[in-house]
């Protein structure tokens, strides 16, 4: 027995070193081998889960931590770690349950209360989230992330002065956090304190030259001030370091529009050239596209991560899933192949254009991420938004409401491109293009194109799958 305990201890030590060195698969192998001797060892279960998650196997991580909390229900660390993995997978109710239990078991830990608050906020339970953030700072009055999270929620509720106070607390304890500094600047802008907002956001860009949100929000303030030359210079400064950044390209299009450079806007946001609808045909194994769409819809509606759209998303009065890419079989695996093929065709059609930032920064290799949006009643829609971390984005329609085909209903239920988000300051009239959804239609577009859905007043279900084309790594 003593020899077995020693082997387990050595395996834990070696696995920890592997994780520190970025060798997660080796760490997982060591933990799995040691579990043959000690299958219920709590450290092996928790360490193995971390290694599995970092190796790209979240289900294995969930299984290991599920075993840990089943056997050791009072292990706060296991509850917390399981919450983190559930939250990463979009399983927000499960994550909340784990974080709530972790906070109950370790009330002096600010992290448990903080993550409970983030889950509550994502679930739209804003007042409870505020309470949990306050619990976090009560547990640790120096815990900057809790003040920043509290400030974000207060700003969203319109309690701007309280948000400012919370941001200032966060910056007192972590003055070098560019995200917090950016949130502070945005809140000052909402209060109409534009000079202070610009100064705060300039400082945020100096703190992190690679943080695009700081740049785009600074540009937005400069546009509102009427300082268009400075706004354009900020865009070009950032794009010199990060050519093709979708968030900053979207901001630059607004600056160009406000400047009256409409030809430049039309070239950058070329709705005819870069917006490509494509009708897909039935993949192998399915009699027709209707059968395939029915299988996709069934999978989406039964997906364990399907919840009311989180507060941080663009969807209003609808539901979202978590990640859909990575299933080994079934309709989603087939869909992934179909999207990869469509992106390859799109990429080939672009040709070469060394003067256009979208074309010249086209990806030769990529990875996909995808999620579904389900609108099930009257009034559901998606607000105007972009996908700032991606190069190319798209949407596929598995089911659409009948009103979309009704010419008397105008463009209800359609997807529209070109109108900037209300989160940005703009006064010009941008070029627009609307596309009528239909089952089996795939629409590809640059990720910096603003897009929204037009609300419809009919109790019918609309199921779409949105996806991003991202650089590998």
Together in a domain, 262 and 280: no
Rounded to 10°, the helix 126-139/144-156 angle is 160
Domain final residue, candidates 269, 303, 322: 269
Whether 306 is in a domain gets the answer yes
Are 248 and 280 in the same domain?
no
Encode pLDDT of 237-273 as tens digits.
999 999 999 999 999 999 999 999 999 999 999 999 9
334 within a domain of the structure (yes/no):
yes
Average of per-residue pLDDT across 358-387 = 88
**Are 439 and 463 within one domain?**
yes
Q: Do 381 and 464 share a domain, yes or no?
A: yes
Is there a single domain that holds both residue 245 and residue 288? no
Residue 109: both structure tokens together = 């830990």
Does one domain contain both 223 and 336? Answer: no
pLDDT band at 108 (very low <50, low <70, confident <90, very high): very high
Together in a domain, 184 and 227: yes
Per residue in 192-206, pLDDT (tens digit) is 999 999 999 999 999
Based on the domain organization, do 367 and 287 belong to the same domain?
A: yes
For residue 131, being part of any structural domain is answered with no
Q: Does residue 458 form part of some domain?
A: yes
Per-residue pLDDT for 381 more than 70? no
Tell me, what CATH number does 210's domain have? 1.25.40.10
Q: Is the pLDDT of residue 307 over 60?
A: yes
Shared domain check, 227 and 281: no
Which is it for the CA torsion 204, 208, 214, 219, positive or negative? positive
Query: Residue 459: inside a domain, yes or no?
Result: yes
- pLDDT band of 1, cuts 50, 70, 90: low
Give the span between the Cα atoms of 30 and 18, in whole angstroms: 9
Flag whether pLDDT at 314 surpasses 60: no
Choose the weakest-confidence range: 96-105, 254-263, 372-381, 425-434: 372-381
Decide: pTM greater than 0.75: yes
Phi, psi of 189 (to 5 degrees): -60, -45
User: How far apart, in whole angstroms, are the C-alpha atoms of residue 181 and residue 357?
Assistant: 29
* Same domain? 439 vs 294: yes
Task: Give me 443's structure tokens.
Answer: 């629409």
- Helices 160-173 and 178-190 pack at an angle, to 10 degrees, of 160
What pLDDT does residue 378 have? 62
- Is residue 237 in some structural domain? yes
Q: What is the pLDDT of residue 309?
A: 66
Q: Which domain holds residue 346?
A: 276-470
Examine the fold and report which residue of 254, 269, 284 is the final residue of a domain before the chain moves on.
Answer: 269
Amino acid 352: pLDDT? 87
* Tens of pLDDT, residues 396-455: 999 998 888 877 768 888 999 999 999 999 999 999 999 999 999 999 999 999 999 888
Q: Residue 312: is its pLDDT beyond 70?
A: no
Residue 51 lies in a domain: no
Statement to judge: residues 445 and 362 lie in one domain: yes
Total number of domains constituting the chain: 2
| Phi, psi for 458 (deg, rounded to 5) | -155, 135
Q: Is 32 part of any domain?
A: no
**What pLDDT is recorded for position 304?**
85
Q: Where residue 339 sits, what CATH number does that domain have?
A: 2.60.120.620
Q: What is the pLDDT of residue 96?
A: 96
Per-residue three-class SS string for the chain: CHHHHHHHHHHHHHHHHHHHCCCHHHHHHHHHHHHCCCCCCHHHHHHHHHHHHHCCCHHHHHHHHHHHHHHCCCCHHHHHHHHHHHHHCCCHHHHHHHHHHHHHHCCCCHHHHHHHHHHHHHCCCHHHHHHHHHHHHHHCCCCHHHHHHHHHHHHHCCCHHHHHHHHHHHHHHCCCCHHHHHHHHHHHHHCCCHHHHHHHHHHHHHHCCCCHHHHHHHHHHHHHHCCHHHHHHHHHHHHHHCCCCHHHHHHHHHHHHHCCCHHHHHHHCCCCCCCEEEECCCCCCCCCHHHHHHHHHHHHHCCCCCEECCCCCCEECCEECCCCCCCCCCHHHHHHHHHHHHHHHHHHHHCCCCCCHHHHCCCCCCEEEEEEEEECCCCCEECCECCCCCCEEEEEEEECCHHHHCHHHCCCCCEEECCCCCCCCCCCCCCCEEECCCCCEEEEEECCCCEEECCCCCCCCEEEEEEEEECCC
Please check whether residues 181 and 230 belong to one and the same domain. yes
- 233, 251, 269 - which closes a domain: 269
């Amino acid at each position: 027995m003593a020899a077995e305990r020693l082997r387990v201890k050595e395996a834990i030590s070696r696995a920890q070193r592997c994780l520190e060195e970025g060798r997660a698969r080796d760490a997982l192998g060591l933990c799995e081998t040691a579990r043959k001797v000690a299958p219920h060892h709590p450290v092996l279960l928790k360490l193995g889960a971390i290694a599995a998650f970092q190796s790209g196997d979240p289900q294995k991580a969930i299984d290991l931590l599920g075993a840990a909390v089943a056997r050791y229900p009072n292990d706060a660390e296991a509850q917390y770690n399981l919450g983190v993995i559930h939250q990463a997978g979009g399983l927000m109710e499960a994550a909340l349950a784990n974080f709530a239990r972790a906070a109950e078991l370790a009330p002096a830990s600010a992290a448990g209360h903080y993550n409970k608050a983030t889950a509550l906020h994502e679930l739209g339970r804003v007042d409870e989230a505020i309470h949990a953030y306050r619990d976090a700072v009560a547990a640790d009055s120096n815990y900057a992330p809790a003040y920043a999270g509290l400030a974000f929620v207060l700003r969203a509720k319109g309690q701007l002065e309280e948000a400012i106070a919370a941001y200032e607390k966060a910056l007192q304890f972590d003055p070098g956090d560019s995200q917090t500094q950016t949130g502070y600047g945005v809140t000052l802008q909402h209060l109409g304190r534009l000079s202070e907002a610009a100064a705060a956001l300039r400082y945020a860009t100096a703190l992190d030259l690679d943080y695009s949100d700081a740049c785009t929000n600074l540009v937005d303030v400069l546009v509102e001030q009427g300082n268009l030359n400075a706004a354009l210079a900020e865009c070009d400064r950032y794009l010199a370091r990060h050519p093709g950044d979708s968030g900053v390209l979207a901001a630059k299009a607004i600056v160009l529009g406000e400047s009256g450079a409409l030809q430049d806007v039309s070239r950058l946001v070329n709705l005819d050239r870069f917006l490509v609808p494509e009708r897909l045909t039935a993949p192998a194994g399915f009699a027709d596209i209707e059968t395939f769409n029915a299988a996709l819809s069934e999978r989406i509606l039964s997906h364990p991560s399907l919840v009311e759209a989180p507060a941080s998303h663009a969807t209003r009065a609808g539901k979202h899933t978590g990640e859909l890419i990575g299933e080994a079989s079934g309709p989603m695996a087939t869909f992934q192949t179909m999207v990869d093929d469509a992106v390859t065709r799109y990429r080939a059609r672009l040709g070469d254009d060394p003067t256009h930032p979208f074309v010249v920064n086209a990806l030769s290799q990529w990875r996909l991420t995808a999620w579904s949006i389900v609108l099930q009643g009257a009034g559901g829609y998606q607000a105007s938004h972009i996908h700032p971390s991606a190069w190319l984005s798209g949407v596929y329609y598995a089911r659409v409401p009948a009103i979309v085909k009704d010419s008397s209903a105008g463009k209800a239920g359609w997807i529209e491109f070109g109108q900037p988000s209300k989160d940005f300051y703009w006064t010009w009239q941008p070029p627009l293009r609307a596309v009528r959804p239909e089952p089996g239609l795939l629409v590809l577009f640059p990720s910096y194109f603003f897009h929204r859905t037009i609300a419809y007043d009919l109790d019918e279900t609309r199921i779409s799958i949105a996806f991003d084309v991202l650089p590998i790594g």
